[in-house]
């Protein structure tokens, strides 16, 4: 169920105020004001609360740091589970293919300055919650979690965290509003005037007892305006992360619902319920019996009513967090059409019994990054995503067949073909594209065959565009031999394989996969069949090699056959590319290579220094025909691949 387009409506009425009533009110106000005026004792009491609270929670609040940012978090279990915001540990890189990419090296700094490396158990960007785990040396002090259903606007609250990197900062204020849904978040959030600044993210919002009632998440809209996620939402997400490693949402696809405000209630002639704005014809829930214009009056025997956006947000949340596969019963009131326009409308009642399904990954919209992965071919300047039901409705697309273009870089093959963002690619090389898997299969088939022109059919709004994609094939230029690359893989958890593979086929290179076993696993748990083992490589007729990194890179950088191949390349003007720890193979193959400028993954830098290599620490280092990279993230590897391509192109044939 979706309620993204719900708007409240206000009935404008006015009441006359009698004169005597006004005088009485005035007198009451005088009495009340005397009874709540603060004494010095009260002020001292408030100071004490703050000080006591700080002392209580300080051991439980941490600073979280990684290569791209900083935030706060709080310990929720003695064995080291920590809650923070999803955006604190996410790279939030709008340029990334995977919006769920998280920082690689997350460090948790305790109040006593002890540092631990953290592992991400699960995270979500909306609700903006993450669960980390550290392995502490001793039992930790866990913070108390309160109940956000018991709070009221006006309650005094405290925010604790590391604003601007200033660790262990306590600020105070009140809860200004507890029903904020204006931010467009999945759940309603608390608004507070306790100062919340960058660095506070992930830190606790506490009540006077020192219990967490929220997590500081959004700020910067103005002075005295900050927002926190309710602790009860955090509790739910924590359980999901532990059980599933992610937030597994339930849904009844495909429909949109909204609250029944005063005007809608009057128009439909029904007092309470939830209005179904739209049900897709033939969808799961439509087949179960739900129709556009129905009003849900009960869920599982309980009457439901949503008069405001906050109320519908709560109902949506309660449905979303139920277990996927749970049965659900809806009681529907279906208005008899035409409506009479009076209060006494007539309805038919229906019962729908169905089951909750798992929700689709969230779509990127507005400032939300969503969860859909992009399939990108950098050397075509093209990126696409699958079209889910919500994609179709948010982006007002005519249907769901094909893939949606999310990237068409200027001066690329994609822009040359006049491909535009929001286009839907419905056919490649005269093959229909129904799903992103079809797209990948057909585009890569065309690229592997080095088709000069790849015919595409695009749906743009209401008309069809036929065009042709002309890849540049930089490593297979016309009238010149195609570049041949040997790709050496460690057998376990080979990293960045997809990137390298797509790079090679888009550029028209011929490549062979080599390892010391017949099958290797990638970091994404995909099993790849290799073409040749290291030992079988007896002659070398390639233009270069790429040494990939992975879990067992240490075995690999000492492998005698790998070293033999690398040594040959060093002595025969071949391009050598090495990612991460694989750079050590260069030094091991030929100690004389220690004069070459090299880089490697940070965790292996000490090894390189021990071998007296000319370690530069740069993200990508080129020295002659040797190109090395830390392999830190996708962006770094792409820069590496472009440098590798330049070196290869520069090699004389």
The residues binding other proteins (CB under 8 A) are 5, 7-12, 182, 256, 258, 261, 263-264, 266-268, 275, 277-278, 280, 292-293, 309, 335, 337-339, 341, 392-393, 395-398, 416-418, 452-453, 455, 461-463, 465-470
Q: Are the C-beta atoms of residues 472 and 413 closer than 8 Å to each other?
A: yes
| Of 126, 378, 438, 543, catalytic | 126
| Of 60, 162, 201, 313, catalytic | 201
- Respond yes or no: is residue 201 known to be catalytic: yes
Residue 197 or 258 having the CB closest to other proteins: 258
Nearest approach, Cβ of 387 to other proteins (angstroms)?
A: 13
Residue 11 or 525 having the CB closest to other proteins: 11
Count how many Cα atoms sit within 13 Å of the Cα of residue 532 in the half-sphere of its side chain: 16
Distance separating alpha carbons of residues 78 and 143, to the nearest angstrom: 9
Nearest approach, Cβ of 313 to other proteins (angstroms)?
A: 13
Residue 143 or 275 having the CB closest to other proteins: 275
Nearest approach, Cβ of 422 to other proteins (angstroms)?
A: 10
Q: What are phi and psi of 118, to 5 degrees?
A: -110, 150
Helix (H, G, I), strand (E, B) or coil at 652: coil
- Respond yes or no: is residue 448 known to be catalytic: no
Nearest approach, Cβ of 114 to other proteins (angstroms)?
A: 46
Q: Which of 53, 75, 197, 233 is nearest to 142 (CA)?
A: 75
Residue 261 or 438 having the CB closest to other proteins: 261
The residue behind tokens 């999945």 is 186
Residue 230 or 392 having the CB closest to other proteins: 392
Spatial neighbors of 631 by CB under 8 A, at least 6 apart, are 495, 496, 549, 579, 580, 601, 637, 640
DSSP 11-62: --------HHHHHHHHHHHHHHHHHTPPPHHHHHHHHHHHHHHHHHHGGGEE
Helices (H), 346-496: 389-394, 413-416, 436-448
- Respond yes or no: is residue 418 known to be catalytic: no
Distance separating alpha carbons of residues 356 and 318, to the nearest angstrom: 12
Nearest approach, Cβ of 468 to other proteins (angstroms)?
A: 4
Tokens standing for residue 162: 């590391």
Distance separating alpha carbons of residues 586 and 591, to the nearest angstrom: 8
Nearest approach, Cβ of 328 to other proteins (angstroms)?
A: 22
Q: Are the C-beta atoms of residues 491 and 520 closer than 8 Å to each other?
A: yes
Residue 11 or 652 having the CB closest to other proteins: 11
Residue 263 or 533 having the CB closest to other proteins: 263
Question: Which 8-state DSSP code applies to residue 630?
Answer: -
Nearest approach, Cβ of 569 to other proteins (angstroms)?
A: 37
Q: Are the C-beta atoms of residues 294 and 273 closer than 8 Å to each other?
A: no
| Of 66, 72, 87, 446, catalytic | 87
Active-site residue list: 87, 126, 201
């Amino acid at each position: 169920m979706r309620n993204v387009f719900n708007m409240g409506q206000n009935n404008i009425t006015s009441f006359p105020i009698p004169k005597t009533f006004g005088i009485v009110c005035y007198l009451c106000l005088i009495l009340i004001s005397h009874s709540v005026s603060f004494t010095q004792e009260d002020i001292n009491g408030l100071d004490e609360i703050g000080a006591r609270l700080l002392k209580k929670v300080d051991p439980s609040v941490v600073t979280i740091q990684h290569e791209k940012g900083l935030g706060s978090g709080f310990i929720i279990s003695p064995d080291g589970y920590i809650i923070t915001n999803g955006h604190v540990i996410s790279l939030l890189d709008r340029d990334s293919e995977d919006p769920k990419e998280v920082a690689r090296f997350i460090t948790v700094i305790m109040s006593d300055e002890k540092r631990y490396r953290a592992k991400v158990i699960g995270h979500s960007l909306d609700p903006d919650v993450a669960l980390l785990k550290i392995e502490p040396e001793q039992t930790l002090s866990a913070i108390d979690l309160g109940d956000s259903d018991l709070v009221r606007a006006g309650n005094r609250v405290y925010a604790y965290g590391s604003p601007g990197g200033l660790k262990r900062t306590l600020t105070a204020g009140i809860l200004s509003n507890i029903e904020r849904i204006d931010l467009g978040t999945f759940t309603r959030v608390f608004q507070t005037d306790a100062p919340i600044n960058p660095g506070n993210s992930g830190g606790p919002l506490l009540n006077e007892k020192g219990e967490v009632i929220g997590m500081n998440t959004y700020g910067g809209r103005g002075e005295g305006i900050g927002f926190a996620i309710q602790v009860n939402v955090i509790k739910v997400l924590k359980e999901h992360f532990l059980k599933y490693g992610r937030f597994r949402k339930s849904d009844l696809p495909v429909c949109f619902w909204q609250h029944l405000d005063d005007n809608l209630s009057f128009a439909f002639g029904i007092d309470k319920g939830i209005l179904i704005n739209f049900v897709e014809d033939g969808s799961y829930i439509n087949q179960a019996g739900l129709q556009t214009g129905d009003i849900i009056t009960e869920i599982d025997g309980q009457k439901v009513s949503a008069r405001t956006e906050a109320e519908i947000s709560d109902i949506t949340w309660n449905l979303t967090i139920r277990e996927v596969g749970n049965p659900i019963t809806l009681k529907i009131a279906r208005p008899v059409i035409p409506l009479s326009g009076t209060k006494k409308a007539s309805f038919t009642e229906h019962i729908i019994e169905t089951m909750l399904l798992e929700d689709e990954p969230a779509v990127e919209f507005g400032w939300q990054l969503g969860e859909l992965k992009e399939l990108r071919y950098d050397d075509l300047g093209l990126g696409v995503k699958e079209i889910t039901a919500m994609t179709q409705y948010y982006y007002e697309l005519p249907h769901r067949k094909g893939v949606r273009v999310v990237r068409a870089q200027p001066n690329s093959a994609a822009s040359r073909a006049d491909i535009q963002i929001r286009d839907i690619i419905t056919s490649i090389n005269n093959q229909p594209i129904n799903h992103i898997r079809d797209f990948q299969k057909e585009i890569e088939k065309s690229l592997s065959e080095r088709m000069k022109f790849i015919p595409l059919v695009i749906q743009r709004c209401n008309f069809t565009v036929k065009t042709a994609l002309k890849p540049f094939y930089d490593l297979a230029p016309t009238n010149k031999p195609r570049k041949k690359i040997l790709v050496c893989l460690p057998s376990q958890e080979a990293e960045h394989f997809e990137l390298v593979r797509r790079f090679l086929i888009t550029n028209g290179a011929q490549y062979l996969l080599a390892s010391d076993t017949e099958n290797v696993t990638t970091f994404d748990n995909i099993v790849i069949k290799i073409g040749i083992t290291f030992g079988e490589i007896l002659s070398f007729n390639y233009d270069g090699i790429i040494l990939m990194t992975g879990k067992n890179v240490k075995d690999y950088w000492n492998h005698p056959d790998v070293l033999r191949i690398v040594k040959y390349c060093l002595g025969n003007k071949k391009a050598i590319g090495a990612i991460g720890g694989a750079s050590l193979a260069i030094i091991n193959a030929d100690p004389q290579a220690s004069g070459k400028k090299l880089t490697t993954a940070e965790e292996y830098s000490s090894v390189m220094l021990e071998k007296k290599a000319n370690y530069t620490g740069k993200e990508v280092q080129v020295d002659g025909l040797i190109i090395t990279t830390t392999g830190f993230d996708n962006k770094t590897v792409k820069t590496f691949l472009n440098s590798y391509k330049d070196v290869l192109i520069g090699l004389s044939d």
